Amino acid sequence: MSGPLMLAHLLLERQSRRPELPRIPEPALVMDDLAQNAAFALAGREDGSLAFLYLYHALQITPLLCPGDQVLDLGCGPANQLAQIARLNPEARFTGLDASRQMLERAEETVARCQLANIALQAGDMTTLNGFADAAFDGVISTMSLHHLPDFAALAAAMRAAQRVLKPGGSLYLVDFGRFKRAATQRFFAADRSDNQPEALRRDYFNSMQAAFSVAELRQATAVFGGGIACYTTALAPFMVVIKSSERRSPDDAVRQTGRAMYAQMSAALQKDFRLYTRWFQSGGLTLPFRLY
């Protein structure tokens, strides 16, 4: 991340009196473009440009889960994010759901490469969750997938379906892009890593930000879960929005050691991005469950 330039864009975003930009749905609501999927999958690997982002959210999700939990991941994609969560929570069981057969094939490769035995994969529609019984899961998570939904009605339907399959008192963790006011801010974030990211990923990044729901829309859709959930955004502007339930446990020594090992395995550049991202969310009120460095 380009710190000073990013801060300038965020300050302009904060000071802008414009209304939020109109939402533009993704050109393809199901990710079945081969080049796009390949670029996304590579970026999410342990050494990929998105690894710092995935580790951050894996750490945030972990205190919400307990050993023995059954957890549903809505829109798991190539399962790079899910693999990090599963590695930190080896005694929980995860079901990764995605509407794209190509993404599920890549997810199968990820699970096999990471040698994870606590992930099952399934094709399905997050707006209905047909085939899943009521109160079937102890936790429902979704990381960077909700913006693929076509409209607010679909978002609301997905949240109603998630509430149906979640046990009373179960855990919820949702993270996605937020809506900006300035097209220049969207273009900046899309192009920030163009020197080390393929064009397919840059284009997908830009489309994803255009398709983001607003914070108000995310709050409205998740009201179905009732009280006990909190909403956080990155400071100054809602580049990212996290909606989460209360923590259910304190990370034990094994989790802390695994998390620190995952951080240590990242390159110096990715560690720098992780620290910047952590401070950005911390300024918005969301802190890490434990220190890595």
Q: How confident is the model at residue 191 (pLDDT cuts 50, 70, 90)?
A: confident
Going 121 to 124 to 129 to 132, the CA torsion angle's sign is negative
Beta strands in 14-152 (DSSP E): 70-74, 93-98, 119-123, 137-143
- Facing residues of 172 across strands? 140
> Can you tell me the distance from the alpha carbon of 27 to that of 177, in angstroms, rounded to the nearest whole number?
17
Q: What pLDDT is attached to residue 149?
A: 97
Strands 166-177 and 119-123: what pairing? unpaired
Q: How confident is the model at residue 188 (pLDDT cuts 50, 70, 90)?
A: very high
CATH class of 3-282: alpha beta
Q: What pLDDT is attached to residue 48?
A: 79
Q: What is the pLDDT of residues 60-96, one digit of tens each?
A: 999 999 999 999 999 999 999 999 999 999 999 999 9
> Can you tell me the distance from the alpha carbon of 111 to that of 80, in angstroms, rounded to the nearest whole number?
8
Hunting for tokens 């997050």 — which residue is that? 126
User: pTM here?
Assistant: 0.93
Q: What pLDDT is attached to residue 45?
A: 61
Question: Which strands, in side-by-side order, build the sheet including 166-177?
Answer: 119-123, 93-98, 70-74, 137-143, 166-177, 240-245, 229-233
